Structure 1
Amino acid sequence: MDGPETILARAVSDPDDRLVTADELLTGLQRRCGGELPGTIAVPELLELVSKARRYRNRLARTICAHDGADVINAWVEVTPKNDGSGCEIVLRSWRATPLPPEDNDGSIERRAVVDRQVAELVAWLDAEQRILAVASDSAELRDLATAMQEGIGRPFTDVVNFESGAAHPLHWRLLDGAPIRIPGSSREWRIVLLPQAQPGAEPAGFELLLVSDEPYSEPEAPALAGMGLGRGLVGQDLAPVLRQPISRIIANAETIRTRLAGPLPDAYADYAGEIANAGRLLLGLLEDLSDLEIVESSTFVAAPDHIDLAEVARQAAGILGVRAREKCIVIEGLSPAESLPAVAEFRRVLQIFINLIGNAIRYSPEGSHVSIRLEHRDERARVIVADEGPGLSEEEQAIVFEKFERLGRSGDGGSGLGLYISRRLARAMNGELSVESQKGQGARFILDMPVDPEAVG
């Protein structure tokens, strides 16, 4: 028979193993473990004990263990089923609370990093000055940002992303870690995660940047998805997602070695690391070109035209490629903020075309030259002209320059021979055209014609 001096608390459960009444000790434990009164028993081991006693109609007793957020509770509990099957009587006879050990701060940080890496939809590698070394993303929603970061290699990542705070940058990395950012075209909320790469007690030699959203991605409707032009072939669907991140890691690690962020290194080894990084970028570029090739040649590919400003897209492309131009002492004569040219086209596809045209102009123009961007409005066509001071093209070369894999006899320049072919296919998919005017020795003018936006000019 139970002696009242040995009983610390009593409780009663119903046929559904819900705690109906309980003395204070068990009521507090129930609530600290996330339960309610009345409500389903919140302590898993107690719930199991009560459930078994009720089902087998046998009195059961044992020690249970519970975690209430602050302590580890060990308690001796006796459970007796009622004869009428209406539930159980619960008796608590002992109670020992042991404080939980202090949180392992390093361990918790590492666990959070593991989770963030798993859910990140964009990964970039930065040097000690937060300059972009490499970037990888398989997210269609982040493709424009990934492109901008890829073209912005060598620039601080804060030049490329849009922070919600609008604060001036650069800032210390600890102030940027966790900062919310805006992604044009995305309704989700995004945050930056910066993982420092450093030995304990030392300043970071670089960073791993993760772009994370706590909201799940919602697939767009079929027409919008077709407009995104996601590759569904061997490269776009199977190879590209698998290869992007490891190739980007190779580039980032090679850049870390080349810039001696990992420690002193002989010049020969630094040069070798630079060659590895450049080879990685060429491979990554080829992978992207092959993926785009599958997209534009797919019978299901359609563009998603919208009302855009061609001048603004051209300004963004010129800004993305500004560092590359300055490295060759090339001046991009861009458009003033006041210039505008409304058109009907898909923003991200036009941006892709401009990046290719301006990038080619920089690649094939001599140092100290100029690349100009001009606008024209002809009847129902909106025209943007990208002109360079390079070697120009003969009539024979102009006839084949838009063909697949055509490089006009060049080798070792990092091109795949697909950029102009893909760009023309994209232009035509948006009811536009891409053409070239040139003379040998007098530079080249690449001309993008798109339908004028009637709503803007009417």
Structure 2
Amino acid sequence: MEDQANILARAASDADDRLLTAEEPLASLQLRCGGELPGTIAPPELRELVRKARRYGFKLARAVCAQDGTDTVTAWVEVEPLSDGQGCELRVLSWHSAPTPIEEPAAAESRRLLTNRHLAELSAQLDAGQRLLAVSCNSAELAEIAQAMEAGLGRLWTDFLPLEDVSHQQPLHWRLLDGARVLVLGSERTWRVALIPYMQPGFDPAGFELLLLSDEPAPQEAPPPAAATVTYNCRSLVGQDLAPVLKQPIARIIANAETIRTRLAGPLPDAYSDYAGEIASAGKLLLELLDDMADLEVVESEGFSTAPDRIDLSEVARQAAGILGVRAREKRIVLEPPQPSEHLHAVAEFRRVLQVLLNLIGNAIRYSPEDSHVWIRLEDAGDRARVIVADQGAGISAEQQAVMFEKYERLGRSGDGGTGLGLYISRRLATAMGGSLSVDSAPGQGARFILEVPADLDA
């Protein structure tokens, strides 16, 4: 027989997991967590426990946690479904409340940046002068502005996203622009930007990541007319048809999973947080695969060519190192780009060289051990200009080198987040620019990837 003296509070829910009645202190917790009485159960863990008990049809009991703004509550709750299946009876057997620990500022800032990255509908890479280097967009609403920014690489980002109520001439200090509201032509939503610097303590930023965010939901997009589906022979199937449709929902899945993983929606057991992290990782891999498949279509299309220009490979290498500097520091890898005093002029497309170097440096960071070095070196070879990315990884055997530039080749690796297309695309880009991409390595001796493009002999 149930010991009535051990029950601190009783409550009842209906078939829709709405809390119909509740005794104190559960009633107050429901209200402090933003719920109503009667109303949908507000504490996430309690709502999930009730949902499972009702769905499975048998009694469940476990500890649940909730945050009501100032305190963290831990309670042992029994949930027993009613015989008619139309609701549950809840019994609270223990209750402990303690002040919520104050989060460290660095951890809070890291979580804010992580959330912003996954909520952003457009992102861009900027150089130290806040000029555009690359643009990525997953919103049909922003497709036109993204195309304009893509065509205007090298210009200030504020040329395309003017600041609201700011008359000062650019470039303003980046700290004044972080969080600033901007105007987006053709959009009725309000927008703001987040600027994330690539920097080391004591140095000026080497570049920036720009995120475009809106606190208002995106408008529902109307499906394309039926006639638009018969033109695949004239279009890029992935890049123009599939990627724009899939990127936004996948990005939302990632954002929601990261919100759950970082417990922004409330306390959560570690196991559920880990599940959410796995969902976010899988979503990121899907986005990476979409980007790679779109690039694959481009480089394999008939008549593909690049737009050669006179560039400084030293500048491109430093930009790539600045973009990936945070990732390197997370693994305690020392990334050594060319010095500002070094110059090596070449004839190639800036954006494509940057894309290749980001892939090579990213791979070096991914497959190098912690507390190691990755070097980016320049080499003048007469009518050829070379950028060499060298690491202290495990090295690559001759057999692996023979196949590593093939499509979908991952050298037997699994679970590392790669798609097996990066090196294949990079070599195709190098060839299209009149150059080459090769590797020099041996097991246990690290790897040297060599990007070679035509030198600018008139510089």
Bucket of the pairwise TM-score, normalised by the shorter protein:
0.5 to 0.7
2:321 to 318, 321, 324: 318
Question: Which segments of 5 or more consecutive residues in structure 1 lack a partner in the other structure?
Answer: 1-125, 148-160, 181-190, 197-206, 212-230
- What amino acid maps onto 2:135 in structure 1? L
Residues 1:166 and 2:150 aligned together:
no
Residues 1:379 and 2:382 aligned together:
yes
Residues 1:413 and 2:416 aligned together:
yes
- What amino acid maps onto 2:136 in structure 1? A
Determine the structure 1 residue equivalent to 2:440: 437
Does the aligned pair in 2 maintain the 1:138–1:241 contact within 8 Å?
Answer: no
Q: Deviations over 1:14-59 (max 9, x none)?
A: xxxxxxxxxxxxxxxxxxxxxxxxxxxxxxxxxxxxxxxxxxxxxx
Determine the structure 2 residue equivalent to 1:104: none
Residues 1:209 and 2:207 aligned together:
no
Mapped to 2, the partners of 1:322 and 1:370 lie a distance apart of: 12
Determine the structure 2 residue equivalent to 1:300: 303
Cα distance change on mapping 1:194 and 1:353 into 2, 3 Å? same
Q: Deviations over 1:179-229 (max 9, x none)?
A: 79xxxxxxxxxx992299xxxxxxxxxx97159xxxxxxxxxxxxxxxxxx
Cα distance change on mapping 1:446 and 1:135 into 2, 3 Å? farther
Does the aligned pair in 1 maintain the 2:121–2:213 contact within 8 Å?
Answer: no
Measured after TM superposition, the shift of residue 128 of structure 1 is: 3.5
Q: Deviations over 1:329-382 (max 9, x none)?
A: 111011111111111111111111000000000011011111000000011000
Higher mean C-alpha deviation, range 356-365 or range 406-415: 406-415
Cα distance change on mapping 1:300 and 1:426 into 2, 3 Å? same
Determine the structure 1 residue equivalent to 2:362: 359
Residues 1:145 and 2:145 aligned together:
no
Cα distance change on mapping 1:359 and 1:138 into 2, 3 Å? closer
Cα distance change on mapping 1:285 and 1:348 into 2, 3 Å? same
- Aligned partner of residue 388 in structure 2, secondary structure: strand
Determine the structure 2 residue equivalent to 1:194: 192
Cα distance change on mapping 1:166 and 1:265 into 2, 3 Å? farther
Cα distance change on mapping 1:260 and 1:399 into 2, 3 Å? same
Cα distance change on mapping 1:326 and 1:282 into 2, 3 Å? same
- Aligned partner of residue 455 in structure 1, secondary structure: coil
Determine the structure 1 residue equivalent to 2:180: 176
Does the aligned pair in 2 maintain the 1:311–1:341 contact within 8 Å?
Answer: yes
- What amino acid maps onto 1:176 in structure 2? A
Percent identity over paired residues: 63
2:246 to 243, 248, 271: 243
Question: Which segments of 5 or more consecutive residues in structure 2 lack a partner in the other structure?
Answer: 1-109, 125-130, 138-155, 159-168, 195-210, 216-233
Mapped to 1, the partners of 2:190 and 2:455 lie a distance apart of: 38
Higher mean C-alpha deviation, range 247-256 or range 424-433: 247-256
Mapping 1:269-348, distance limit 5 Å? 269-348=272-351
Runs of 4+ in 1 over 6 A off after TM superposition: none
Does the aligned pair in 1 maintain the 2:118–2:252 contact within 8 Å?
Answer: no
Measured after TM superposition, the shift of residue 233 of structure 1 is: 2.4
| Structure exhibiting the larger radius of gyration computed from Cα positions | 1
- TM-score w.r.t. the length of structure 1 is 0.56
- Aligned partner of residue 265 in structure 1, secondary structure: coil
Cα distance change on mapping 1:317 and 1:308 into 2, 3 Å? same
Mapped to 1, the partners of 2:193 and 2:260 lie a distance apart of: 19
Measured after TM superposition, the shift of residue 426 of structure 1 is: 0.3
Measured after TM superposition, the shift of residue 254 of structure 1 is: 1.4
- What amino acid maps onto 2:118 in structure 1? L
Does the aligned pair in 1 maintain the 2:404–2:410 contact within 8 Å?
Answer: yes
- How big is the alpha-carbon RMSD for the aligned residues of Structure 1 and Structure 2? 3.1
Does the aligned pair in 2 maintain the 1:127–1:133 contact within 8 Å?
Answer: no
Mapped to 2, the partners of 1:192 and 1:335 lie a distance apart of: 41
Mapped to 2, the partners of 1:283 and 1:377 lie a distance apart of: 39
1:128 to 112, 117, 127: 112
Does the aligned pair in 1 maintain the 2:336–2:376 contact within 8 Å?
Answer: yes
Does the aligned pair in 2 maintain the 1:431–1:451 contact within 8 Å?
Answer: yes
- Aligned partner of residue 144 in structure 1, secondary structure: strand
Mapped to 2, the partners of 1:170 and 1:266 lie a distance apart of: 36
- What amino acid maps onto 1:382 in structure 2? A
Does the aligned pair in 1 maintain the 2:328–2:335 contact within 8 Å?
Answer: yes
Cα distance change on mapping 1:334 and 1:138 into 2, 3 Å? closer
2:452 to 449, 452, 456: 449
Does the aligned pair in 1 maintain the 2:180–2:193 contact within 8 Å?
Answer: no
Mapped to 1, the partners of 2:367 and 2:120 lie a distance apart of: 25
Residues 1:260 and 2:263 aligned together:
yes
Measured after TM superposition, the shift of residue 261 of structure 1 is: 2.2
Cα distance change on mapping 1:324 and 1:371 into 2, 3 Å? same
Determine the structure 2 residue equivalent to 1:426: 429
Does the aligned pair in 2 maintain the 1:232–1:295 contact within 8 Å?
Answer: no
Cα distance change on mapping 1:395 and 1:241 into 2, 3 Å? same
Q: How many residues align?
A: 277
Higher mean C-alpha deviation, range 261-270 or range 304-313: 261-270
- What amino acid maps onto 1:145 in structure 2? V
Determine the structure 2 residue equivalent to 1:78: none
Mapped to 2, the partners of 1:255 and 1:328 lie a distance apart of: 21
Does the aligned pair in 2 maintain the 1:304–1:345 contact within 8 Å?
Answer: yes
Does the aligned pair in 2 maintain the 1:176–1:192 contact within 8 Å?
Answer: no
Does the aligned pair in 1 maintain the 2:409–2:421 contact within 8 Å?
Answer: yes
Does the aligned pair in 2 maintain the 1:389–1:443 contact within 8 Å?
Answer: yes
